[in-house]
Amino acid sequence: MPAEIIKNFLNHLPETPGVYRMLGEQGEALYIGKAKNLKKRVTAYTTPEKHPYRLMRMIFLTAKMEFITTRTEAEALLLEAQLVRKLKPRYNVLLKDDKSFPFITISMNHEYPRIAKHRGAKTAGDLYFGPFASGKDVNENIRFLQRTFLVRPCKDSFFAKRTRPCLEYQIRRCSAPCVGKIGVEEYGKQVQEVAAFLKGQQHAVKERLAAQMEAASNNMQYELAAQLRDRLKSLSSLQSKQSFRVEDLGDTDVIALHHSEQGCVIDLFSIRGGQACGNRAIFPKHTEDATSAEIMEDFLAQHYQLTPPPALLLLNTAPENVELMEEALSTLSERSVKIEMPQRGTKAELVTQIYANATAALEHKHQVEAKNRVMLKEVANIFGLKDIPQRIEVYDNSHISGQLPVGAMIVSGPEGFLKNEYRHYWLEDQLGGGDDFAMMRFVFTKRLKKILKEKDDEKIPDLILIDGGSAHLAVVSKIFEELGVTNIPYACISKGPDRNAGNEEFHLPGKPSFRLTHGTPVLHFLQRLRDEAHRFAISTHRNRRSKALTTSVLDSIPGIGAKRKKALLQHFGGVEGIKEATLAEIAQVPGINRKTAEEVQSALKA
């Protein structure tokens, strides 16, 4: 009995803080928890009937346990969150949105710094501001900063090869430092104003602009004064658009949780430097029988593993242990973090507004899922499925004359497209010549082997759709047969003889091909799935082709690393410029000696 398995560990457990892992028969993580007293906490699992159904089921599936002791309960909380994010146990409350939050970055390693959107690892010396709730919020802020401060957004390689101003200069979003329209010192002042604005010094920036405008007007520099006036108007316009005055909140996250029979949603509204950075709705998993306090605690611990917490958190629902959470988050950020549940005043109004956003987001999600369930029921009828599909995988390939082929998989379910589940497959090393069938054979062999190996019920598709015809179906059928996969339905979608939308033919193994009535909602639904796979395959291929065209030649040259490659591209503006350069010109680039220049020239002329 599982309870007996758990009891066997009790004699060896210390009464100290730590983390415990409940494991299944295959060693997979079922549940990860933290405890102030490991022995006392684990003892509670010896009486499964006292737990919610979710945890009761987890206890009965437990085959063994593992333990890690920590010095404090706060350390246990942080370790638990790290392991949950890494292992994604089936019975823990999980964040469904693992996408990192974007930042605005200013690249200070260039004499004319660039402003851009950034995700991932940070480069030493560059400035970063955020995080923002979404890439859309970052792009809107960058466009505003361009209009107001005229800083460049272009990549260094594009900047280096300009001989005349680009469109950004023509529409007054850049001061064209690439062609000398502005000096290094003056441009540096603009960059400093951008940094000050993003740090929350909006009033100081406006005062300086007002003083500069007045001075320009007194000196009869009326064109400059008009430009400064427009910048001031732009700053005032941004502040007037904000629903709440947030400039006094500095660095704050406002977090509202809404938990009902329809599900659970957490809306996160970020404020950095007194500027609104947008909001994002996040839908945790496995929350059916968890309390709101448990969900909030798990969310805070997991979310701030990705991004450092701000100085203040305003919540509508307190976590289970506020003081413990403050201690853990303060450890993460290496500064004091305060958690408040405001009941009155501006902060309370702000929390109420974010809670309204959360409620609306959950209602919208519920409506979308209801519509999708209707369509998925139709899909189940069309393809003879026993149940409404929860996971549909759609596949497509993309290449140009057999070059840089890419396989793409998109995933859809009752909630719509699950973009964090999308995958691409690099096929270049295995295939050539544009053999679409060989590409499909490689993709499905790899995908089905992974399904068989991992045995994750949530990742097994209820239906597979392939962009292709009867010949593609024959290839896929053979792969299914060779691997002994019989429990996953699949079908191909072809565009019919005229390749017009609405004439799609559906091909199923062992059955005659058929078409759906033109204009029916379920046909539009299946077309949308197919088109999304096509879009993802093409965009992935384009990104790969673009990268290959600009970097592959230099990457293959011995002695040319990232630093030298960047120096060469900045100096000559691209690979073509390097090809046209003389040996002496290449050797003049910082970090490139004559021997290396000879290797570069030889490789590019080969």
User: Over 80: is that where the pLDDT of 513 sits?
Assistant: yes
- Residue that wins the pLDDT comparison between 166 and 207: 166
- Kindly list the distances between the CA atom of residue 574 and the CA atoms of 193, 228, 260, 565, 567, in Å, as whole numbers in the listed order: 31, 36, 56, 10, 10
pLDDT of the residue at 238: 55
pLDDT of the residue at 405: 76
- Kindly list the distances between the CA atom of residue 478 and the CA atoms of 344, 397, 486, 507, in Å, as whole numbers in the listed order: 66, 19, 12, 15
**Are 375 and 521 in contact, with CB atoms under 8 Å apart?**
yes
Domains, the chain: 2-87 (3.40.1440.10), 103-241 (no CATH), 250-299+311-361 (no CATH), 392-546 (3.30.420.340), 556-605 (1.10.150.20)
Quick one: tokens of 50? 């006292």
Please, which pLDDT band fits residue 267 given cuts at 50, 70 and 90?
very high
User: Over 70: is that where the pLDDT of 241 sits?
Assistant: no
Angle 479-482-484 from CA coordinates, rounded to 5°: 105
Question: Own/partner pairs for 501-507, CB < 8 Å, 24+ apart?
Answer: 501/527, 504/530, 505/469, 506/382, 507/469, 507/470, 507/472, 507/473
**Cα separation of 392 and 461, whole Å?**
6
- Residue that wins the pLDDT comparison between 411 and 198: 411
pLDDT of the residue at 568: 82
pTM of the full predicted structure?
Answer: 0.73
- Kindly list the distances between the CA atom of residue 558 and the CA atoms of 71, 193, 554, 561, 601, in Å, as whole numbers in the listed order: 49, 42, 9, 8, 12
- Residue that wins the pLDDT comparison between 210 and 544: 210
- Please state the rounded mean pLDDT for residues 224-241: 66
User: Over 90: is that where the pLDDT of 255 sits?
Assistant: yes
- Residue that wins the pLDDT comparison between 248 and 316: 316
List the strands of the sheet with 127-129, edge to edge: 115-118, 103-106, 127-129
Beta strands (DSSP E) in 353-480 are 392-400, 403-413, 416-417, 423-426, 463-467
Tokens 């028969």 belong to residue:
25
- Residue that wins the pLDDT comparison between 328 and 437: 328
Please, which pLDDT band fits residue 142 given cuts at 50, 70 and 90?
confident
**Cα separation of 466 and 389, whole Å?**
16
- Please state the rounded mean pLDDT for residues 371-390: 92
Range of weakest confidence among 109-118, 227-236, 308-317, 523-532: 227-236
CA 9 to chain centroid, in Å, comes to: 40
Q: Is 547 helix (H, G, I), strand (E, B) or coil?
A: helix
- Please state the rounded mean pLDDT for residues 212-222: 76
- Please state the rounded mean pLDDT for residues 61-69: 90
**Cα separation of 95 and 294, whole Å?**
13
Quick one: tokens of 481? 């047969």
Please, which pLDDT band fits residue 47 given cuts at 50, 70 and 90?
confident
pLDDT of the residue at 314: 96
- Kindly list the distances between the CA atom of residue 228 and the CA atoms of 53, 126, 198, 221, 585, in Å, as whole numbers in the listed order: 64, 27, 19, 11, 42
User: Over 70: is that where the pLDDT of 525 sits?
Assistant: yes
CA 294 to chain centroid, in Å, comes to: 25
- Kindly list the distances between the CA atom of residue 394 and the CA atoms of 227, 334, 475, 495, in Å, as whole numbers in the listed order: 52, 45, 16, 15
Please, which pLDDT band fits residue 150 given cuts at 50, 70 and 90?
confident
Please, which pLDDT band fits residue 354 given cuts at 50, 70 and 90?
very high
List pLDDT tens digits, range 292-306: 999 999 999 999 987
Percent residues over pLDDT 70 in the chain: 89
User: Over 60: is that where the pLDDT of 239 sits?
Assistant: no
Backbone CA torsion sign across 417, 419, 421, 425: positive
Q: What is the dihedral of CA 516, 522, 528, 530, to 10 degrees?
A: -50
- Please state the rounded mean pLDDT for residues 159-188: 87
Range of weakest confidence among 12-16, 46-50, 332-336, 571-575: 571-575
List pLDDT tens digits, range 587-604: 888 888 888 888 888 777
Q: Name the nearest CA neighbour of 89 among 309, 298, 362.
A: 298
Looking at residue 312, its amino acid is L
Quick one: tokens of 515? 């078409």
**Cα separation of 221 and 225, whole Å?**
6
